Amino acid sequence: MSLKSSSTRYGSVAIVLHWVTAIAIFGMLASGLAAENATDAALELTLLRGHAVTGAVVGLLTVLRIVWWLFFDRRPADPAGMSRGQAIASRVVHYGLYVAILVMVASGSATILLSGANLQLLGAAPLPLPDFSQVAPMGVHGLLARLLIALLIGHIGAALWHQFIRRDRLLARMGVGR
């Protein structure tokens, strides 16, 4: 498989970036929701540390993906038979995912810094963690988490619709199946 994409299939760099980012996003969402619902302060801190590190990795991977697409590779053409509306919806969801991720990284970082929780994350201050709801960027972060989930549902739903309803083997373009 080529490093770069062809007119019909994504290249290995794009495929690896996509799937590593996807796994990290699910880990980030799970750790964020678990930390938000944790009743034990030490567990919450552990989950928040993992969430912050995973969020930073997702942010870096997203910037790397954008740089890859802008300077080194081109996306394959849309699948045959895709309507103009579907193509527009696909672009909106993909760009929405990029924007939501980058703003979530920024709002999460701002929440940690403005609340002073960075000291607890680094082990330089004792518990308890601050009340994150009192920090303005946390509201943006929580709203975008819900938007990210909605975009992921749309993205995954569309991929499954292509694969199993249209049977156009869309997932093969992303390295799943033939």
pLDDT attached to residue 169:
86
Segment 33-53, tens digit of pLDDT: 999 999 999 999 999 999 999
Segment 64-80, tens digit of pLDDT: 999 999 999 999 998 88
| Amino acid at site 158 | A
pLDDT attached to residue 176:
87
pLDDT attached to residue 170:
86
DSSP annotation of 110: H
List CB contacts of 130: < 8 A, sequence separation 6 or more.
Answer: 115, 116, 117
Using a 10 angstrom Cβ sphere, with 0-12 exposed, 13-18 middle and 19 or more buried, the burial of residue 71 is: exposed
Per-domain boundaries in the chain: 12-174
Tell me the C-alpha distance between 55 and 121, whole Å: 14
Local confidence band at 1 (pLDDT 50, 70, 90 cut-offs): confident
Under the phi-then-psi rule, with left for phi > 0, alpha for psi from -120 to 50, and beta for the rest, what region is 116? left
pLDDT attached to residue 99:
97
Segment 82-134, tens digit of pLDDT: 899 999 999 999 999 999 999 999 999 999 999 999 999 999 999 899 999 99
Tokens of 21: 């980012």
Tokens of 28: 């980030």
pLDDT attached to residue 177:
74
Q: How many CB atoms lie within 10 A of CB 78?
A: 14
Tokens of 173: 């373009």
Contacts 24+ apart (CB under 8 A), 71-75: 72/4, 72/13, 73/4, 73/5, 73/11, 73/13, 73/14, 74/4, 74/5, 75/5, 75/10, 75/14
Tell me the C-alpha distance between 91 and 97, whole Å: 10
pTM for this model (two decimals): 0.92
* pLDDT of residue 139 exceeding 90: yes
* pLDDT of residue 178 exceeding 80: no
